[in-house]
Structure 1
Amino acid sequence: MRPPMRSSLRAAVPALLLLAPLSACSDDASAGDNTSPSDAAASEGPCTYEPDGTSSDVELPPSQPTASGQVPVTMTTSVGEFKATLDADRAPCTVNSFVSLAEQEYFDGTSCHRLTTRPGFQVLQCGDPDGTGMGGPGYTVPAEFDGTETYPAGTLAMARAQDPDSGGSQFFIVYGDTGLDPSYTVFGTVDADTVARIAKAAEAGVTPEMGPEDGRPKTPVTFETVSVD
């Protein structure tokens, strides 16, 4: 959004991340619609962000990461304050993109569009400005995983479509231990209070869209501000 659940979750994983395809996958997306971030991917540094052919007024992140080490982030939400720590050493390009989007106030006013409440698969998915699971910032973020990833409660990881390098702005917070194949970039953690707040919101359940335990949260989770501390 574990190891014993991995094979049984293979069918669920595409739902988690194939329901988060970036808008480049939609029928009306075309290269001619791209007005920004730019006409070419940044190439001055180690991070390459590819414009995905969709219209966006978001600026591309710098190709040279601006952060290193542990990066504290505060997310003020409708269900309380979320505290996250981004790991810029583990996932420099992903963290660089997240920081850039936060500084552009990209996440402010957006709502988490997906909650799963099934035991062994408990995640809250956020970061889509459209609130549909189809939106993104107009560029893709390269994958940064090595196959050793696990997804315990408190994990902050990137959503994506089938292509590992199709990440964008959507991410998921794991609030209950979740079995996923190790093919999603882990770029940080959230604190225990954040896990508890999401678990509390999850008690209200979901509006079923992909099953009785998978859909839009009945208790809305909306980001008021996301700031790098």
Structure 2
Amino acid sequence: MAASSRSARETKRRIQQMEAKRELRKEQEKRRKRDNILAAGAGTAVLILAVVLQLTVFSSNPTEEEYAAAQAGLTSPPATPSATPSATPTNAENIPKPETAAGKVFTGELVLNRGTLGVEFDGTKAPQAAAVFKSMADENFFAGTSCHRLTTAENFGVLQCGSTTGDGRADPDFTWGPLENTPADNKYPAGTIAVARGGDNAYSNGRQFFIVYKDTEIPADSAGGYTVVGKVTSGLDVVSNIAAAGLKPGGNPTDGPPVEPVTIDSFSLK
């Protein structure tokens, strides 16, 4: 009887061990699935963040709210400066009239600390934008400002200039519109000069502009594309050489400040 009792207890103990092992394997499997889901979610957030940061290259630098929104997995960050396209400028009294440039083509030079570019600004296609930049050139506004942002992706090559703060922050006291001469196919050929603006707002153009140094495609947002105001007529290799030098290390590998600081010595149009 005693031997039989011990045998029964041993059998019961083995059954309990087997059940415990099965439960442990089930829990481990659940944990692996949960970890995989979390890893996939993190990967998606990183991808969305990269896309968001890339598409905001012609806006002011992403705010903390925009960064948090991207990390949360939103398809786009809150627009800057407003969430919906504006119908009218907020400070029209500060903006030169488009009539001052309508029907005119201005030529001149953009002198960087890295070399000189010949430029042409077209008031026949973008009179409001040409009026704004002609006025700022006449005021010598750009002297000493920086070209703070460079992109070096395979199909996305631009140098953004005109930042007075050096970090790309927009000037809320100088915004204007409407959008003009935006490419229907979202393609910006090498040599294009276009106006930087905030996302999803046709009246968020400012003082910053970007130079396209290789054929680039920029998806339009809800407001449209980016105003093409002119082109580089000579010296585009200056920008290509800036791009070839690369970006400052430690940040986005294809989007950030040039490794060698780039500033504007002068900008003239006549």
Q: Please report the TM-score for the alignment, with normalisation by the length of structure 2.
A: 0.64
CA positional deviation for 1:219: 2.0
Contact 1:61 1:100 in 2 (8 A): no
1:189 and 2:226 matched: no
1:169 and 2:215 matched: no
User: How many residues are paired up?
Assistant: 191
Distance 1:197 1:146 in 2: 25
- Aligned partner of 2:23 in structure 1 is none
Distance 2:51 2:254 in 1: 16
Given candidates 150, 157, 160, the residue that maps to 1:122 is 157
Given candidates 202, 205, 221, the residue that maps to 2:246 is 205
- Opposite residue 196 of structure 1, the aligned amino acid is D
**Secondary structure at the counterpart of residue 98 of structure 1:** helix
**Secondary structure at the counterpart of residue 119 of structure 1:** coil
Taking the TM superposition and a 5 Å limit, the aligned residue runs for 1:18-57 are: 18-19=59-60, 50-51=90-91
Runs of 4+ that moved beyond 3 A = 9-13, 18-21
Structure possessing the higher radius of gyration over alpha carbons: 2
Contact 2:58 2:160 in 1 (8 A): no
Contact 1:95 1:187 in 2 (8 A): yes
CA positional deviation for 1:157: 0.4
Taking the TM superposition and a 5 Å limit, the aligned residue runs for 1:209-220 are: 211-220=252-261
Contact 1:208 1:214 in 2 (8 A): no
CA positional deviation for 1:12: 5.4
Distance 2:150 2:258 in 1: 6
More helix by share: 2
- Opposite residue 213 of structure 1, the aligned amino acid is T
- Structure of greater relative contact order (alpha carbons < 8 Å, 6+ residues apart): 1
Taking a change above 3 Å as real, the CA distance of residues 136 and 82 of structure 1, as seen in their structure-2 partners, is: farther
Distance 1:225 1:205 in 2: 24
- Opposite residue 108 of structure 1, the aligned amino acid is A
Taking a change above 3 Å as real, the CA distance of residues 154 and 130 of structure 1, as seen in their structure-2 partners, is: same
Q: Please report the TM-score for the alignment, with normalisation by the length of structure 1.
A: 0.74
Contact 2:95 2:176 in 1 (8 A): no
Q: Percent identity?
A: 36
Superimposed CA distance per residue, residues 108-143 of structure 1 (whole angstroms, 9 cap, x where no aligned partner): 111100001111000000011111111337221202
- Opposite residue 180 of structure 2, the aligned amino acid is E
Long gaps (5+) in structure 1: 1-8, 27-47, 53-58
RMSD after superposition: 2.6
Deviates more, 1:133-142 or 1:87-96: 133-142
1:105 and 2:119 matched: no
1:80 and 2:120 matched: no
1:152 and 2:192 matched: no
CA positional deviation for 1:13: 4.8
1:133 and 2:179 matched: no
Distance 1:64 1:86 in 2: 13
Long gaps (5+) in structure 2: 1-49, 63-79, 82-87
